[in-house]
Amino acid sequence: MSTRPVAAFAAAILVFATAVPATADENLEQVRKRISAEFEVIDPENINPSPVEGWYMIQQGTIVAYVSGDGRYLLQGDLIDLDSQVNLTEAARDDARKELVAGLADDEVITFGPDDAEYSVTVFTDIGCTFCRRLHNQIDEYNSAGIAVRYVLYPRNGPASPDWAESERVWCASDRKSALTAAKADKDFPSSDCDASIVQDNFLLGQQVGLSGTPAIVLEDGELISGYLPPEALAAKLRSVTQQAKR
């Protein structure tokens, strides 16, 4: 697969110079062929009919765009059904995030909270982030509200940052929960050498999820909450999501 950055696709809002000549029956395959040639990071099978007749939807993780049926026009933006007042593009992103986060095994996260918690959220956290620390300082309150927090280590400033090295030390600690708590309080903790490639995996996962900062809270249905929410506000949000799902 080409190493051409996904960001090149995410930033593209353009008009192709020429249209793809094709019959209605051939449109999808012709569009797939052209888009995958223009953007090698886009797999052909991730281009499919959209909710709007005559347009196709391109979805690679949480990156969503639309291409006209003749393969000429590429549009990136949110598609909203005005009748139902539903953001169809955001719903597609939620589905992608749900699948990505569901792929995290229990031994790939650092969990605070009981196994039988009423709710579970996945939080991408950076050790040095002020609001990440604020959230963690209230971890007992989240747990008391019935919320289990599955932490994903995400040093947002990248591999050269001090928080990246500290995240690796946390992962290599025998007691990761205690190590994470100590790291967020700028306290020392015991650690050792180990395979800490999970930090790199988490960093790439965060980019796929579409993070713009930390903390980033992903609900079980894939909805992304960018930023800190107090325990009572998060609990209320989770109750609301649960009630809506039952309707």
- Does residue 172 carry a catalytic annotation? no
Report how far residue 66's alpha carbon sits from residue 153's, in angstroms, rounded to the nearest whole number.
Answer: 33
- Side-chain-side CA neighbours of residue 173 (13 Å): 20
Backbone torsions φ then ψ of 175, nearest 5 degrees:
-120, 90
Query: Out of 34, 97, 129, 176, which one is annotated catalytic?
Result: 129
For 92, the 3-state DSSP assignment is helix
Question: Catalytic residue at 72?
Answer: no
| From 32, 94, 97, 132, the catalytic residue | 132
Radius of gyration of the chain (CA): 21
List 150, 156, 169, 176, catalytic entry: 156
Catalytic residue among 126, 150, 169, 172: 126
Beta strands in the chain (DSSP E): 47-49, 55-60, 63-68, 74-75, 80-81, 86-87, 110-112, 119-125, 147-153, 216-218, 224-226
Residues 6+ apart with CB under 8 A from 59: 46, 48, 92, 96
- The yes-or-no answer on residue 129 being catalytic is yes
- Residue 156 annotated among the catalytic residues of the structure: yes
- Which of the residues are catalytic? 126, 129, 132, 156
